[in-house]
């Protein structure tokens, strides 16, 4: 058994995945044609040639532009279904998918359209592929807290209809200059409503944002969190409380959080006893889906079967699945 096949066969959860970040260039062109949208790139190759990022913002600019081809329920379904097929090929048994409604509602797409397309694919993945999923409605942190409140308000009427899927709230987009404190009230409200809470923190932003996400927003899981290493007291807190960090190695290289994969701190965090797992973030933009993230990281950092086993088990234990469902896979 090759290490890749060994890792593929490990039951794995993916907990940090933006569904809009799974939109492949060929589907962007297909949807653009279907929806009669003119793209600023003549062909797929020239679009892909633009995937040369210098930081988070340079990626986000392209990512939001790409999502502009999503108009109809079928578009959201097609994007999501393509992801579930990839997930199945990589041996993913459960996935917690972030989506950015503001990217779509700001263009006049109805909240229902976004939910309906993603949810139809998720339910079909459950019945046909045996992959379970939850949805994480994520607020764009470059927009105001009032805008986040509006978004939550627009989504709440759909809560019952999608109760099997929509269990959590998240926070993504431009991190620097948009600290967790900006969203304290909307997170408090989300908590009162019974949502599970996650937030991106410590990707480009400082370790203090990780601290603030935990203390001010009350999140139970941190997306990225790799910059926590700069704060020894925070590191100890993360260890003592087994706070999950959803680390995204290929993303961190493409967005220049680390210079190269062999400089990545995943192995260090793992050896210190942090509750880390591996994720793909925006695989259509960062050059690999989940199994590629595991394998390229294993190669660069010398991860052995035992490490890979721990990372996969961590992903299931850090998921929002009820304990008995986690146990089924462990
Ligand atoms: N939105 C999509 N991917 C993201 C990332 N890596 N960081 C922040 N916001 C994002
Ligand atoms: Zn992310």
How high is the pLDDT of residue 251? 98
In a domain, 58, yes or no: yes
Is 330 a domain residue?
A: no
Strand extents, DSSP E, the chain: 12-18, 92-99, 132-140, 166-172, 196-201, 221-224, 244-247, 275-278
Cα-to-centroid distance, 129 and ligand 2 (Å)? 25
Supply the pLDDT for residue 138: 99
Of the pLDDT bands very low, low, confident and very high (cuts 50, 70, 90), residue 177 is very high
Ligand 1, residues at Cβ distance < 6 Å: 18, 21, 56, 63, 172-173, 200, 203, 251, 281-282
14, 175, 203, 204: the active-site residue: 203
With respect to residue 326, please indicate whether it lies within any of the assigned structural domains: no
C-alpha 153/C-alpha 151 separation (Å) is: 5
Give residue 121's domain range: 3-320
Answer whether residue 325 is part of any domain.
no
Percentage of the chain modeled with pLDDT above 90: 100
Query: Is the residue at 295 inside a domain?
Result: yes
Mean pLDDT of the chain: 98
Residue 193's φ and ψ, nearest 5 degrees, are: -80, -5
State percent of the chain over pLDDT 70: 100
Q: Output the domain CATH number for residue 61.
A: 3.20.20.140
Mean pLDDT of 182-196: 98
Q: What ipTM was reported for this prediction?
A: 0.98
The CB density around residue 128, as the number of other CB atoms within 10 Å, is 11
Joined together, the tokens standing for residue 142 give 């470059």
Whole-number pLDDT of residue 196 = 98
Q: What pLDDT is recorded for position 204?
A: 98
Determine phi and psi for 174, rounding to 5 degrees.
-60, 115
Count of domains observed in the chain: 1
Domain presence at residue 81: yes
Establish if 178 belongs to a structural domain.
yes
> Does some domain include residue 104?
yes
Tell me the average pLDDT across 194-205. 98
Average pLDDT over residues 139-148: 98
| Contact present, 259 and 276 (Cβ < 8 Å) | no
Q: Is 184 annotated as catalytic?
A: no
CA of 56 from ligand 2 middle (Å) equals 10
Tell me the pLDDT tens digit for each residue of 217-258: 999 999 999 999 999 999 999 999 999 999 999 999 999 999
Q: How far apart are CA 67 and CA 104, in angstroms?
A: 8
266-322: pLDDT as tens digits:
999 999 999 999 999 999 999 999 999 999 999 999 999 999 999 999 999 999 999
Taking a C-beta distance cutoff of 8 angstroms, is the pair 300, 261 a contact? yes
């Amino acid at each position: 058994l090759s290490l890749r096949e060994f890792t593929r066969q490990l039951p794995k959860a993916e907990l940090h995945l933006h569904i809009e970040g799974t939109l492949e260039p060929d589907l962007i062109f297909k949807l653009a044609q279907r929806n009669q949208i003119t793209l600023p790139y003549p062909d797929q190759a020239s679009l892909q040639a633009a995937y040369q990022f210098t930081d988070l913002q340079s990626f986000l600019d392209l990512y939001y532009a790409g999502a502009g081809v999503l108009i109809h329920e079928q578009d959201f379904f097609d994007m999501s279904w393509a992801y579930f097929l990839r997930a199945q090929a990589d041996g993913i048994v459960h996935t917690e998918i972030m989506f950015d409604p503001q990217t779509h509602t700001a263009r006049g797409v109805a909240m229902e359209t976004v939910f309906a397309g993603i949810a139809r694919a998720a339910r079909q993945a459950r019945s046909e592929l045996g992959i379970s999923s939850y949805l994480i409605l994520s607020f764009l942190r470059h927009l105001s807290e009032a805008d986040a409140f509006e978004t939550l308000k627009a989504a709440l009427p759909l809560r019952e209809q999608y109760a099997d899927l929509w269990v959590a709230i998240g926070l993504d987009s431009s991190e620097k200059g948009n600290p967790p404190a900006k969203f304290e009230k909307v997170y408090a409200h989300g908590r009162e409503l019974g949502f599970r809470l996650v937030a991106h923190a410590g990707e480009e932003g400082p370790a203090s944002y990780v601290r603030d996400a935990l203390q001010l927003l009350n999140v139970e899981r941190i997306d990225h969190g790799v910059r926590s290493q700069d704060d020894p007291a925070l590191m100890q807190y993360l260890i003592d409380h087994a706070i999950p960090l959803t680390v995204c190695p290929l993303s961190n290289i493409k967005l220049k959080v680390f210079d190269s994969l062999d400089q990545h701190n995943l192995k260090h965090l793992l050896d210190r006893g942090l509750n880390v797992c591996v994720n793909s973030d925006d695989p259509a933009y960062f050059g690999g889906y989940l199994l590629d993230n595991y394998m390229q990281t294993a190669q660069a950092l010398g991860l052995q079967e035992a490490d890979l086993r721990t990372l996969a088990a961590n992903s299931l234990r850090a998921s929002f699945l009820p304990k008995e469902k986690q146990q089924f896979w462990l």
